Amino acid sequence: MQVRIVHIFHNCFVIDAGENCYVFDIPADRFRSKKVLSALQESLAGRKVTVFFSHSHLDHFAPDYREVCASAASLQAVISDDIEEMYPDLDFSDALIVEPDEKYDFHELEIETLMSNDLGVAFLFSDAGGLRVYNGGDLACWDWETASQNELDFTRSFFRSAVDRVVDYGVQIAFSNVDRRLESLAGGGELARAVKPQVFVPTHSFGRTQWLQGIHERMGIAEENCFIYRRIGDVQSYDIQV
């Protein structure tokens, strides 16, 4: 299966997989420059689009996502339940609202959710073509130096359990936070080495991407298995074995 992965901004990426496009965590307008909006709309133009929103933080959720995705031929949304609670005045009647640690059939997708240790959920999903994807949202190994030993133990154990679930699911593409402020890189390398996806995509850059050059070496994975991007709209094609 030929897929294209497009970097939009921060945790927002597009998987272009034949007639379907999967989009993750479109940010609110305060995080969207004209280049970000243009790259996103160009990637979705005329396509059958499913957008996933992991939680309600505005770097991960655009309340105006319908307008932002107007170039798509069709649009369906999978939305964490904390977003519905945070935005009671928005109409989500046509969206799939998901809770943590549940399974859903949604059109041609099979979706599983994992509880995040930040807010909302992480996603595992498979489509009719056999593509299997993990997108972590803000689920990560947030082992900050200021945390107590009990907090560190809980965080690391929680993350290891999440990694085990992703391993069992057998994903070909994995998106996970890689944070340079943490020695552990927020667990990105740990997940990549355990899951061994055909493509690992580091996320949560807030537009600061230069430091990602060579990140595969620090994570201990092969360069060809890591999508290393620099600019808004950077794209890489992959032949995914399903």
CATH number at residue 7: 3.60.15.10
The enclosing H or E element of 7 equals strand 2-9
pLDDT on residue 18: 85
Structurally, the chain folds into a number of domains equal to 1
Q: Tell me which residue range forms the domain holding 159.
A: 2-239
Which one-letter DSSP state was computed for residue 88? T
pLDDT in tens, 185-194: 999 999 999 9
What is each CA distance from 129 to 15, 217, 240, in whole angstroms?
13, 32, 11
Start-to-end CA span in the chain (Å): 7
pLDDT on residue 19: 86
Buried b vs exposed e over 89-126: b needs ≥16 C-beta within 10 Å? eeeeeebbbbeeeeeeeeeebebbbbbbbbbbbbbbbb
**Any idea which residue has 């803000």 for tokens?**
138
DSSP-derived 3-state class of residue 100: coil
Q: How far apart are CA 177 and CA 185, in angstroms?
A: 8
How does the average pLDDT of the chain come out, rounded? 97
How many of the other CB atoms lie within 10 Å of CB of 48? 17
* Digitized pLDDT (tens) for each residue of the chain, 242 residues in all: 999 999 999 999 999 998 899 999 999 999 999 999 999 999 999 999 999 999 999 999 999 999 999 999 999 999 999 999 999 999 999 999 999 999 999 999 999 999 999 999 999 999 999 999 999 999 999 999 999 999 999 999 999 999 999 999 999 999 999 999 999 999 999 999 999 999 999 999 999 999 999 999 999 999 999 999 999 999 999 999 99
pLDDT on residue 3: 98
pLDDT in tens, 34-54: 999 999 999 999 999 999 999
SS3 of 169-205: the string is HCCCEEEEECCCCCCCHHHHHHHHHHHCCCEEEEECC
Backbone angles phi, psi at 10, to 5 degrees: 60, -110
Token pair, residue 216, equals 């595969």
